[in-house]
C-alpha cells in the first residue's frame, strides 16, 4: 500500500476489488456452514498444497525468473519449493497433536472443575505477500492458516506479476475458491484487501507499509501479524573463526542478491580485525560467484527502481569518502541489474546506508572497540528481525543474547533459524508483530479458547447471596488455600 497513493473511494471498484469482496463473502458463508473442519479435511488441504508445489514448481520457477530478470533456479528450489513443501509436510505430521485441547491446571479452590484451552479456527484469513520470495511467503502462512481450519485469501505483490498470475492459476486449479483463493491486482486491490474485515491478517513487507496495513486493519479491529524487517546485525566476536564467519556472511548476504528480510544488514567486527574480516568476506564472495555478470547462480535486483536506490546508497557513501570494496564485475550492472557485493568500511552513522534497511548486496562493516560496544551499537537502533553472532566464547555469546532483543537469532551461521519449523518466526518492535511457522503459526491463526468445565460437585453456591455465616466460613477457607 504505497504511501504516495490514496484510493479514490468514490471511483468505480476495479475487477480485483470486486473479486476480493465476492470471494470474501463466499468464504465467510462457507466458514459459517463449516466452522470447525475435521482433521481429515485439514490434512486434505495440506496434501493439496504439496501436490500444487510438485505439479507447478517448473512453471513457478520460470515465472519467478521472468519477474526478477534472472533468479537463480537453485535459490528458487531451495527457498521457494523445498522450504514451503517441508512446511506443509511438517504441519501434516504434527496436526493431530496441535488440534488437541490442552489441559491446564485448575487451582485447588476451584476443584473439582477442569480447565482446557481448545484451538478453534478464526474464520477467513488474509495474507498480503511480498515480491522477494513470492511463493514461500505466500504459501507458508497459508499452510498455517489452513492447518488451523481457516479459509484463506492471498493478495500477492504486483512487483512479481508473472509469479502472481501463475500462483493464482495453480491455486484455482487445486482448490475451490471458498477454501483458498489468490486475488491479483495493483495498488487499489492492496488497499481494499487491507481494509477487508478478515478474522486475521498477515502482512510481510517493509515497516513503512506494514504500519499502514495495520492502520487499515484497525478500522475493523482485525488482528494482524506483521513480518517486517530492519537492520539485522552480524556480530563477529573476538573468539570467532574469521574465515568461517566470512563464508557464512557472504552466503547470507548474496543469497537472492541480499533481497531477504533476514539477510545480514551490517557487520560489527573487532577494530583490529575489520580489514581482515572485509578481505575474508570479499574472498568468500568471489569463491561463491566467480563471474557475477555471467553466472545464472546470482540473482538480479528486482527492478530498476530498487537498483537505483541501492546505487544511491553506494554513491552517498562514496561521496562521504568511505572505503569501498567491489566484489564483482561492473559489466553486471545492466541490463540484468546484477549488483556486485559492495563492502563499505566504517561508514558514518548518518550515511544513508546506515539509516534504512538495505535489502540488497551492499554490506557495511563497522569497527567496534569491544563486545559491549557491539551490544551498544545494536541497541542504539530499532530492534532487528534477526541477529547473527559468531564466536566460540559461550559467555560472550550469552551476554549478547541477554543484552539485545531481536526477532530471532542464528549462532555461527545465517538464516537457518527461519528454516527451523519448530521455531516461531517473527519480529519485535518495528521489525514485526506476532509470529508464525510450525505450531506457532497454527496458534496464530487459531483462537486458543479457554474453557472451564464446572463439576456438579462444585461448592460455588456457597458464595451466592443471600450471604450468611457460611459464606464467611467459605471465604476464610479460600483465603487459607490461596
Comparing CA positions, the residue from 122, 140, 121 lying closest to residue 130 is: 140
Whether residue 211 is found in the same domain as residue 238 = no
Q: Sign of dihedral through CA atoms 195, 198, 199, 200? A: negative
What is the pLDDT confidence band of residue 333, given thresholds at 50, 70 and 90?
low
Locate 57 and state its grid cell.
514448481
Chain centroid, CA 418 distance in Å: 8
Determine, yes or no, domain membership for 309: yes
Residue 362, phi then psi, degrees to nearest 5: -120, 125
Distance CA 43, CA 88 (A): 9
Distance CA 275, CA 178 (A): 58
Distance CA 47, CA 49 (A): 5
Whether residue 261 is found in the same domain as residue 302 = yes
Whether residue 206 is found in the same domain as residue 257 = no
- Does residue 336 or residue 240 have the better pLDDT? 240
Determine, yes or no, domain membership for 472: no
Residue 125, phi then psi, degrees to nearest 5: -105, 135
Whether residue 33 is found in the same domain as residue 150 = yes
Task: Work out the percent of the chain whose per-residue pLDDT is above 70.
Answer: 96
- What counts of helices (H) and strands (E) characterise the chain? 16, 18
Chain centroid, CA 253 distance in Å: 17
Query: At residue 4, does pLDDT exceed 90?
Result: no
Residue 89, phi then psi, degrees to nearest 5: -70, -35
pLDDT attached to residue 6: 41
- Rounded mean pLDDT, 181-191: 96
What is the pLDDT confidence band of residue 292, given thresholds at 50, 70 and 90?
confident
Determine, yes or no, domain membership for 6: no
Report pLDDT digits (tens) over 445-480: 999 999 999 999 988 888 889 999 988 988 898 888
Decide if 253 contacts 231 (C-beta within 8 A): no
Query: At residue 10, does pLDDT exceed 90?
Result: no
pLDDT attached to residue 162: 98
Decide if 474 contacts 462 (C-beta within 8 A): yes
Is residue 275 annotated as a catalytic residue, yes or no?
no
Report pLDDT digits (tens) over 135-157: 999 999 999 999 999 999 999 99
Distance CA 198, CA 216 (A): 11
What is the pLDDT confidence band of residue 1, given thresholds at 50, 70 and 90?
very low
Decide if 453 contacts 115 (C-beta within 8 A): yes
Whether residue 239 is found in the same domain as residue 212 = no
pLDDT attached to residue 43: 98
Locate 457 and state its grid cell.
460437585
DSSP state of 133: S
Whether residue 35 is found in the same domain as residue 100 = yes
| Domain around 111 | 15-228+434-448
Task: Work out the percent of the chain whose per-residue pLDDT is above 90.
Answer: 88
Q: Does residue 473 sit in helix, strand or coil?
A: helix
Decide if 362 contacts 253 (C-beta within 8 A): no
- Rounded mean pLDDT, 39-56: 98
Whether residue 306 is found in the same domain as residue 201 = no
Decide if 137 contacts 157 (C-beta within 8 A): no
pLDDT attached to residue 5: 37
What is the pLDDT confidence band of residue 336, given thresholds at 50, 70 and 90?
confident
- Rounded mean pLDDT, 78-99: 98
pLDDT attached to residue 2: 34
Domains in the chain, number: 2
Whether residue 184 is found in the same domain as residue 48 = yes
Query: At residue 73, does pLDDT exceed 50?
Result: yes
Query: At residue 331, does pLDDT exceed 80?
Result: no
Report pLDDT digits (tens) over 162-180: 999 999 999 999 999 999 9
Q: Sign of dihedral through CA atoms 92, 93, 95, 96? A: positive
Whether residue 254 is found in the same domain as residue 380 = yes
Report pLDDT digits (tens) over 200-223: 999 999 999 999 999 999 999 999
Locate 283 and state its grid cell.
574472498
Q: Does residue 184 sit in helix, strand or coil?
A: coil
pLDDT attached to residue 461: 82
Set 80, 177, 179, 261: catalytic member: 261
Chain centroid, CA 375 distance in Å: 24
pLDDT attached to residue 334: 56
Distance CA 322, CA 354 (A): 12
Is residue 261 annotated as a catalytic residue, yes or no?
yes
The total number of residues shown for the chain amounts to: 482
Determine, yes or no, domain membership for 462: no
Set 195, 227, 421, 439: catalytic member: 227
pLDDT attached to residue 477: 87
pLDDT attached to residue 7: 47
Whether residue 55 is found in the same domain as residue 160 = yes
Amino acid at each position: 500500500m504505497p504511501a504516495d497513493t490514496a484510493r479514490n473511494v468514490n471511483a468505480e471498484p476495479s475487477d480485483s476489488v470486486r473479486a476480493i469482496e465476492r470471494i470474501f463473502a463466499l468464504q465467510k458463508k462457507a466458514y459459517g456452514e463449516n466452522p470447525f473442519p475435521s482433521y481429515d479435511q485439514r490434512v486434505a488441504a495440506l496434501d493439496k498444497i504439496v501436490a500444487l508445489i510438485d505439479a507447478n514448481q517448473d512453471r513457478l520457477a520460470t515465472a519467478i525468473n521472468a519477474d526478477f530478470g534472472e533468479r537463480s533456479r537453485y535459490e528458487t528450489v531451495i527457498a521457494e519449493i523445498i522450504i514451503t513443501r517441508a512446511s506443509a509436510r511438517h504441519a501434516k505430521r504434527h496436526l493431530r497433536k496441535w488440534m488437541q485441547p490442552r489441559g491446564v491446571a485448575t487451582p485447588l479452590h476451584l476443584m473439582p472443575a477442569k480447565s482446557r484451552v481448545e484451538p478453534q479456527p478464526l474464520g477467513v484469513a488474509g495474507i498480503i505477500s511480498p515480491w522477494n520470495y513470492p511463493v514461500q511467503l505466500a504459501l507458508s502462512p497459508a499452510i498455517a492458516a489452513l492447518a488451523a481450519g481457516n479459509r484463506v485469501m492471498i493478495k500477492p505483490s504486483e512487483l512479481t506479476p508473472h509469479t502472481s498470475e501463475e500462483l493464482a492459476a495453480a491455486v484455482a486449479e487445486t482448490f475451490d475458491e471458498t477454501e483458498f483463493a489468490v486475488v491479483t491486482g495493483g495498488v487499489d486491490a492492496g488497499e481494499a484487501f487491507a481494509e477487508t474485515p478478515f478474522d486475521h491478517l498477515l502482512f510481510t513487507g517493509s515497516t513503512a507499509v506494514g504500519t499502514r496495513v495495520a492502520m487499515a486493519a484497525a478500522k475493523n479491529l482485525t488482528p494482524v501479524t506483521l513480518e517486517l524487517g530492519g537492520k539485522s546485525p552480524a556480530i563477529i566476536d573476538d573468539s570467532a573463526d574469521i574465515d568461517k564467519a566470512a563464508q557464512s556472511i557472504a552466503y547470507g548476504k548474496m543469497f537472492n542478491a541480499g533481497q531477504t528480510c533476514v539477510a545480514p544488514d551490517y557487520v560489527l567486527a573487532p577494530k583490529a580485525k575489520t580489514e581482515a574480516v572485509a578481505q575474508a568476506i570479499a574472498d568468500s564472495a568471489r569463491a561463491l560467484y566467480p563471474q557475477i555478470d555471467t553466472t545464472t547462480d546470482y540473482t538480479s535486483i528486482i527492478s530498476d527502481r530498487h537498483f537505483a536506490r541501492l546505487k544511491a546508497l553506494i554513491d552517498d557513501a562514496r561521496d562521504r569518502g568511505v572505503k569501498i570494496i567491489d566484489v564483482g564485475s561492473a559489466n553486471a550492472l545492466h541490463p540484468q541489474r546484477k549488483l556486485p557485493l559492495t563492502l563499505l568500511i566504517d561508514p558514518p552513522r548518518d550515511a544513508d546506508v546506515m539509516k534504512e534497511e538495505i535489502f540488497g548486496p551492499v554490506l557495511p562493516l563497522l569497527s567496534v572497540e569491544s563486545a559491549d560496544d557491539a551490544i551498544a551499537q545494536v541497541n542504539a537502533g530499532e530492534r532487528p528481525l534477526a541477529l547473527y553472532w559468531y564466536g566460540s566464547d559461550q559467555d560472550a555469546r550469552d551476554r549478547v543474547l541477554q543484552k539485545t532483543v531481536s526477532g530471532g537469532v542464528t549462532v555461527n551461521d545465517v538464516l537457518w533459524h527461519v528454516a527451523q519449523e519448530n521455531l516461531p518466526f517473527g519480529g519485535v518492535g518495528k521489525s514485526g508483530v506476532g509470529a508464525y511457522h510450525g505450531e506457532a503459526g497454527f496458534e496464530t491463526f487459531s483462537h486458543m479458547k479457554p474453557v472451564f468445565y464446572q463439576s456438579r460437585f462444585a461448592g460455588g453456591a456457597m458464595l451466592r447471596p443471600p450471604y450468611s455465616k457460611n459464606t464467611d466460613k467459605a471465604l476464610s477457607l479460600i483465603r487459607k488455600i490461596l
